[in-house]
Structure 1
Amino acid sequence: MANRDLHLTRNIGIMAHIDAGKTTTSERILFYTGKTHKIGEVHDGAATMDWMAQEQERGITITSAATTCNWNYDGKSYKINLIDTPGHVDFTAEVERSLRVLDGAVATYSAADGVQPQSETVWRQADKYNVPRIGYVNKMDRSGANFFETVQQMKDILGANPIAIQIPIGAEENFKGVVDLIKMKAILWHDETMGAEYDVEEIPAELADEAAEWREKLVEGAANFDDEVMELYLEGKEISEEMLLRAIRKGCIAMECCPMLLGSSYKNKGVQPLLDYVCAFLPSPVDTQAIVGTNPDTDEEEDRKPSEDAPTSALAFKIATDPFMGRLVFFRVYSGKVVAGSYVYNPRSGKRERISRLFQMNSKQEIPMESIDAGDIGAGVGFKDIRTGDTLCDEKAPIVLESMTFPDTVISIAVEPKSQADVA
């Protein structure tokens, strides 16, 4: 892990309304990146990311599940820390705590249902934490699927600036693939290989005019984020693929646009380009602003850059109970590094905590690590006094990072025993 290029790390989450296909998409990501060798289906209760018995029984995501995978893009190996979040409104606090520590997100929509109420809620949560995002219109094989209607709803309902990177080849039961408007090529998937193989071909003649029209919209939108692209666009000159990628990346990281992709994760179509554009457009830890916190001794603001040479600062964003190891604390390291067996300082409690063991997670599977470095997400055990939102830092350079706020409960229920005997 030492000397890993942080430019090649992506900390992302998948967020959406319930039943838009977040976990199904996550399962395909794990399969195509080689993390799993069999696709687990949500409806079979076999999804890797839905590891709780209650999730498998109901076919929904209840807790945010984290995993780490690698993807080769543009000749480089990218490390992707992926968090699959719940879509149900009852578990929106899980989304809140995840977005607080992510650098980017994939906003997923059902092509048949468009922008739904919880889609709007998680969009506002991402705005709150300044999380850049790309859009993925899933379920293009469903009856009533309409990519263009969903893109329009993003403008009308979310006030977003979606830029279509792809357009569909067919829809509903005739959905076959996508036209990539940056490469101006058609991508068609092989059903017999579960989408692992696909062909890149010339754009079908019947889609040539539509592709040219949407390509023009893409170039016009990209020109707003890059002066060189704008100059070439106004002069009517050819704009290279690299320049378009650079311009759209600028707009995405500045949260001035949302690149839009599409597919059908269940039918194994669209996930590989999604991974490509996660690497191309979403920010790395060094692309985001330095984390700002408060020095508890002076009450003055300080910032920490994502460097292993800086003093350690990390934020605990989730606490889970493991049946074998007890309390498992998930945290994001913003600067420095956290080493197994070392001590960190908790400014809230004023105590030092020894982290006995460190892990990176693959859903419920723990992968032992010697250290979790700046820009990375991991989990640890051994904490005595820890709460969600606590800062972990170097005792010689204390800092308190901004915590997270949770939405009010929709409904509260309490169970009271009739007698003390009922407690047992």
Structure 2
Amino acid sequence: GGMERIGQLFILKGKNQEPVSQLGAGDIGAVAKLSLTNTGDTLGNRDKPIKITPVIFPEPSFGEAVHPKTKADLDKLGGALSRLSEEDPTLQVRREADTSETILSGLGETHLEVAAEKMLRKFGVGVKLVTPKVPYKETITVSAKAEYKHKKQTGGHGQYGHVFLDLEPLPRGSGREFVKKIVGGAIPKNYIPAVEKGINEAVQEGVLAGYPVVDIRAKLYDGSFHPVDSSDICF
């Protein structure tokens, strides 16, 4: 561990701090301006180091989205949440990528309300706690085949791309898979990454409600191309 310089010791009595020269067993004391110490650390003598068994903190069971009230609050929000979670290990902060929300989790609604009040009082950050958005997803339940031909002629070089896909449902939590099963050069290898990119773009918005499509396998098994008119953008 690191070295801390211990300054004035205090005994805590309610809201009052009483300066003392030493702390004994059973005392609830405090020391200010520690630069390296975090919750759960043990302070001891360098010549006779000891480490007390750390407290096992309960896992958070309730979460809400944290919305800053002003632009100034947004600028200070990250630092305030970081300090709060350092001081209270039962608070956890995460970013929900699908909804772009910051989620603060704790032991209950009152716990989070106290944390929000502390952010305002101690760090000057005003926030609203709201129910998080649900990151809905879409999927398919049966296999299907898909064919698409892109053909455009405007004078000079045209545009041509043609693909056949097998779409299969996957077990929940599998994510997305892209499988190449092209044989005989039906589609040149250098165009296949463009097909995969197009599929990845398409599944960002499902046909049912516009939510991302997950747990699906897309198998590219056939297609055709034109030696002059085909290009990456056509696929």
TM-score, normalised by the number of residues in structure 2: 0.29
Question: Which protein has the larger Cα radius of gyration, Structure 1 or Structure 2?
Answer: 2
Structure with a larger share of its residues in helix: 1
TM-score, normalised by the number of residues in structure 1: 0.16
